[in-house]
Structure 1
């Protein structure tokens, strides 16, 4: 009640011990309770009832900024293709899927297949966005989740949401609203009213707001069910700042700065880790400011004064620069993929060594290469690299991430030699040969072509080979669309892996040249692309399981920890779980934090604590 003064009537009731509202804060009084308001940005409104007017505007194709619990959303009619496309254009979000909000579970079931566990997750008090398998011929506009076979859906979680969705259901059925973050692409979500007006007025036609302040921005959490167990893709509203209970004690209060993409930071003291909300990609000043402001807020909130700071060893990460520039004297650099595996070890309170498989798009290796498919023996304090995907050049560095055709050409060149350009492949019909010759010269001279063992780039390459995606509009798009295609395969042949090879030595090299050759042969023979995509997934699962068996022969280890952004691929993860468990392995995955870089800071802080305790590899 510091900001909102009670009206005289509420004051009398509040102070009267015999009144049923004695010491009950007024939250529905029309005089001093929260007020809802509809503000026009670019359309004229005559609003006597903001909720009714907002629902009517949405049903007619308007885009509205709506104030939520942790920030503003941008909303439109999810069944209106023109409204969805206009929102994409204004928000500058070309293809990344939009989240949806619907009034009840019955509406969810009209759009998606929902099992009992998913229903529980949707209706939990945290109210996350849940990724669900989409039903065919849904009424949702194709532009909501282009080329995806899933929809991210949440139920209302604030009184304003409930009122709006209930009224919107009177306007049209089924009542389905796009409810995406209130920002321009890659910027932090707007949560202050003045900032929302400045940044969202060019996008939205108006705003449905209330007069309760939001003190810290928090995005919606995103989960999916894998093997019957929830998996975080983004841990934020509803789950943060609830601490994670750990099986060890921090020797001193610690801060871990996380990674560059999907950034979170983490504070630790005693036996608790306080993982921050999702900050986002540290690629602009606004997101970096959110990162810098969030750390002292959490330090104050949990009374933590860090005595040591952990960071990723990549020299150019902004989070790393923050750590190196800090006044904290004790600084501990942590290898990216070791942090991924350590996050699983810390979550499950595992003691001793595990076999770790860290698979993602990019991580700075101890040899300066771009790692991304690492099979290691790991404890919290240390790791030994037993195997990795054989190095290939990453032509153009960051550009190769945005243009999967580059890695496809590199894999073809490795598998078939320079004569690959004569192969009969749909992808090669559109390949700019002049660009490829320039890239080939760059690779030969070692110019801006760092070696990479990235499994994420291999998925990109296969997506390009199948002519699914030659350039991406958001991170992971090619792999997401490749997985969606693989889900369409129904024949028994989809379970048969392509050939591969594993060299001897430490580290062993995982060689997929035989895979690429067999895959290209299938393409040339007219095999369905969905079957090839499914066989590729089965191949990677078999390759990883075989590498684990090799490490077990060397070490005797029976426990496997899986982490990294590639394991957001549900098909691959479930295939691997089946294979590994069939071989007698105990398999552990991230359950309390995301497997992507959103979980890195937990791994970093656990490693730093172990180092400060003086632990080492058994």
Structure 2
């Protein structure tokens, strides 16, 4: 650093801070730190980074550079701190300032990281309920420590002019706070108050004209909910549907509005005490509920009659969350009861964010719409998490988590766009040695969902300042994502096998070095042999894999439609399970045959004989479906995974039940689990045992089978790091049992924690595989 003339001996430096450093209170933090060190200079957002120019004693400048990463705000992630000399003549008058932002003045096009939304902080919550505060009961208060980020950011650098708040000029009082570096609202871009900020409006059903504004609008909406009605509410990431969780009639009506007869709904409660009144709550679950993301947390052992039976029909778990925005805090405080608060969409369509769309689609079927005039720039549903085997895991990565970047175990040589799979969709974008994931986008099964997928990728890449050089995609050519990838030139495409991506996603999250055993139990993914995989043990690294073991196959009548027809899958096993030394016939399942129409069974027989639309699969998810059907728990799934969830719920967490019959055979140098003996025993046991007991025994069987397969593969390869992946490992009972037994065998067992085990984590795995292949590692 160059010495300068003048009073005392000073040096000057330019410090660049890269990483997740915008939208997290970083500039105010730098101001406080630099001022305490007696430095002069300024700090600004610049493109996607923070730039500090500082002058003062060399020791103070060195301390500033080192403490920027060590003492950064909790929501920040400092990737690197780059220090460069400034010329001798660069001096500032005494004092340090926060100055206006600039756009990438040194590195145009550099990757940029975007902060997720943050739940209302304690200071803002105090103000919300303080009658003497000017923001008392204001539903949109926030500060530099909390509030909307990803849902309002249109571009970087993160300034008000680049957010949806640009439509709301600051009043003198808010402007004073905004420019005061000692105020916690300094450069808090979404900051507002009742004088200058967004306002609530209430439109009762059938009315396009608001009848109430501001707090009166909130009161009107709450009166409808208290009276057993259903309303739409504009949340931070899009519209939501709300009703009293204890009112059976209201919940059933909400199901009709959404077109979802069975999918479990989450419940929002006022505080932890209310959560404990609904389900079991341990320290790990409490930490998740209280985290800044405020996700929905799946809690076991739900209390009978705590909420209406149709909130989560047939399941032992209940999704619970705490309020995450000032508006939700007000709703919960005023109504003081559990509320169903679920995404505002119908029939699998994307969550609605546009006001006119909400009025036309939702306004006609609910009792009113509580809206506001702050635009939502990006769709974000609530994140969903649960604790499995003492580890926090993620089922949906959305508000509060996305698009915060995840680390990679290597650095991508160039920007990679990974477009994910077809269901529970996310896409991913490499940013050096990190990956940013889009929020959960649902299933790409409708035209509007496909259009949203394409729009999300366009906005995501532009916001992060990246032009992808390579696109990674699934091997299945029928996926919408694979068709999108074909728009890139062949030399810019990298196909990644589905189960390999699952295994890599878990390994990469934990930064595994060297080869690992990937145990992937999921729905279906196109295998290299042309069949649909879904029950594999792979020997893998980040570039390649080899299958060592698998589950026996069975035909899936109707192909992908079998996922919604567990009874069809059961018939597929009964009529066409792979011959591995045993066989089974439908006659041993009279209950199933009696429940299904004769022409349906005959039609499936014809399909199997002709080999029409009956692809063979080793899918463990479909095996769970088949067992659920054979036990009479679920013949037709109202939502993906319902049969497996009902089977897990029936098992009730029992781990002390004996296994059913099972056997392994060796075929083509692979260990193969033959499911036929297990299915025989399921049917035999069901004749004199309740379904709940048989379900528990089936889970024990799957644990024993998995342990046997993995220990054989570990013995053959010497590899003892095991990575679990695929949607079946969302099953709390199975995952905890497998982790326990493999750990007893001396294995290091890893599960996805920040990355979903299901297809929502596929894009992360694809990105890592593509980066590894490009790097040649």
Match of 1:201 among 363, 366, 378: 363
Unaligned runs of 5+ in 1: 170-174
Alignment CA distance shift 1:320-1:20 (3 Å): closer
TM-score, length-scaled by structure 2: 0.75
Distance 1:41 1:352, change over 3 A: same
* 2: CA distance, partners of 1:583 / 1:25: 53
How many angstroms does 1:507 deviate by? 2.4
Q: Which residue of 2 aligns with 1:502?
A: 665
Distance 2:184 2:317 in 1: 48
CA contact (8 A) 1:232 1:595 kept: yes
Query: 1:7-40, CA deviations, whole angstroms, 9 ceiling, x for partnerless residues?
Result: 4676688789999999887956432133122121
- The question of 1:481 aligning with 2:643 is answered no
Higher relative CO (CA 8 A, sep ≥ 6), structure 1 or 2? 1
Q: CA deviation at 1:199?
A: 2.2
Match of 1:388 among 550, 574, 578: 550
Deviates more, 1:15-24 or 1:62-71: 15-24
Alpha-carbon displacement from aligned partner over 1:303-332 (angstroms, at most 9, x marks no partner): 111111100010100001001113684110
User: Would the aligned equivalents of 2:725 and 2:757 in 1 still touch at CA under 8 Å?
Assistant: yes
Contact 2:593 2:601 in 1 (8 A): no
Deviation for aligned residue 1:289: 1.5
Match of 2:595 in 1: 430
- 2:411 is the alignment partner of 1:246: no
The answer to whether structure 1 residue 306 and structure 2 residue 468 are counterparts is: yes
Q: Distance in 1 between matches of 2:590 and 2:294?
A: 46
Closer, same or farther: CA 354–40 of 1 in aligned 2, 3 Å: same
For residue 269 of structure 1, report the CA deviation from its aligned partner.
Answer: 2.7
2:384 to 222, 226, 236: 222
Question: Per-residue displacement from partner, 1:208-254 (whole Å, max 9, x unpaired)?
Answer: 12222211111110000001111000001101111112221101111
Q: State how far apart, in whole Å, the 2-side matches of 1:24 and 1:350 are.
A: 38
Q: Following the alignment from structure 1 to structure 2, what is the Cα–Cα distance between the partners of residues 559 and 26?
A: 45
Cα distance in 1, alignment partners of residues 234 and 244 from structure 2: 17
Pairing 1:162-561 to 2, within 5 Å after superposition: 162-169=329-336, 175-326=337-488, 329-413=491-575, 420-423=585-588, 425-487=590-652, 492=656, 494-524=657-687, 526-561=688-723
In structure 1, C-alpha distance between the alignment counterparts of 2:735 and 2:538, rounded to whole Å: 18
1:339 shift after superposition: 0.5
Alpha-carbon distance change, 95 to 272 in structure 1, aligned in 2, over 3 angstroms: same
Change (3 A) 1:82 1:17: closer
Structure 2: how far apart are the matches of 1:325 and 1:24?
A: 40
CA 1:16–1:106 in structure 2 vs 1: closer, same or farther (change >3 Å)? Answer: closer
Q: After TM superposition, give the deviation of residue 434 of structure 1 in Å.
A: 3.3
Shift of 1:409: 2.0
Structure 1 residues 391-419: Cα deviation after superposition (integer angstroms, max 9, x where no partner): 21112213322211122123233579998
Please, what TM-score do these two structures have when normalized by structure 1?
0.93
1:79 aligns with 2:241: no
Cα distance in 2 between the residues matched to 1:406 and 1:133: 30
Deviations 1:249-286 (A, max 9, x none): 10111110000001100000311111111111111121
Match of 1:3 in 2: 167
Aligned residue number for residue 569 of structure 1:
731
Q: Helix, strand or coil: the match of 2:524?
A: strand
Tell whether the 8 Å contact from 2:296 to 2:320 is kept in structure 1 after alignment. yes
CA deviations on 1:167-194 (whole Å, 9 max, x unpaired) are 112xxxxx01110001112111111222
Give the match for residue 218 of structure 2: 51
Q: What CA distance in whole angstroms lies between the structure 2 residues aligned with 1:341 and 1:23?
A: 42
Structure 2 residue aligned with 1:96: 263
Give the 3-state SS of the residue equivalent to 1:325 in structure 2.
Answer: coil
The aligned counterpart of 1:172 is none
Matched, 1:33 2:200: no
Secondary structure of the residue that 2:380 maps to in structure 1?
Answer: coil
- For the Cα contact (< 8 Å) 2:575–2:605, is it kept in 1? no
- Could you say what secondary structure the match of 1:111 adopts? coil
Contact map agreement 1:266 1:275 (CA 8 A) in 2: yes
| Residues 239 and 10 (structure 1), Cα distance of their counterparts in 2 relative to 1, 3 Å cut | closer
Deviations 1:88-145 (A, max 9, x none): 1121111101111111111111111101111111111110010012433233111111
Counterpart-to-counterpart distance in 2, 1:528 and 1:26:
56
Q: 1:245 to 1:45 in 2, by over 3 A?
A: closer
In structure 2, C-alpha distance between the alignment counterparts of 1:597 and 1:498, rounded to whole Å: 31
Structure 1 range deviating more: 257-266 or 136-145: 136-145
State the distance in 1 between where 2:750 and 2:188 align: 46
**Cα separation, 2, equivalents of 1:373 and 1:24:** 49
**Structure 1 residues 333 and 22 mapped into 2: Cα distance closer, same or farther (>3 Å)?**
closer
Deviates more, 1:346-355 or 1:561-570: 346-355
Equivalent residue pairs, number: 607
Report the CA distance between 1:429 and its aligned residue.
Answer: 2.2
Provide closer, same or farther for how the CA distance between residues 50 and 545 of structure 1 changes in structure 2, counting only shifts above 3 A: same
Specify whether residues 53 and 249 from structure 1 end up closer, same or farther in structure 2 by C-alpha distance, changes over 3 A only: same
Structure 1: distance between partners of 2:186 and 2:435: 38
Aligned residues: CA RMSD: 2.4
Match of 1:603 among 762, 765, 776: 765
Post-superposition shift, 1:565? 0.5
**1:488 Cα deviation (Å)?**
6.5
Secondary structure in structure 1 of the residue aligned to 2:486 = helix
Name 1:155's counterpart in structure 2.
Answer: 322
8 Å contact kept, 1:63–1:74 = yes
- Range with bigger deviation, 351-360 or 7-16: 7-16
Q: Which has the higher helix share?
A: 1
1:69 to 2:232 alignment: no
Q: 1:37 to 1:614 in 2, by over 3 A?
A: same
Contact 1:425 1:523 in 2 (8 A): no
Would the alpha carbon gap of residues 213 and 386 (structure 1) be closer, same or farther in structure 2, given more than 3 Å must change?
Answer: same
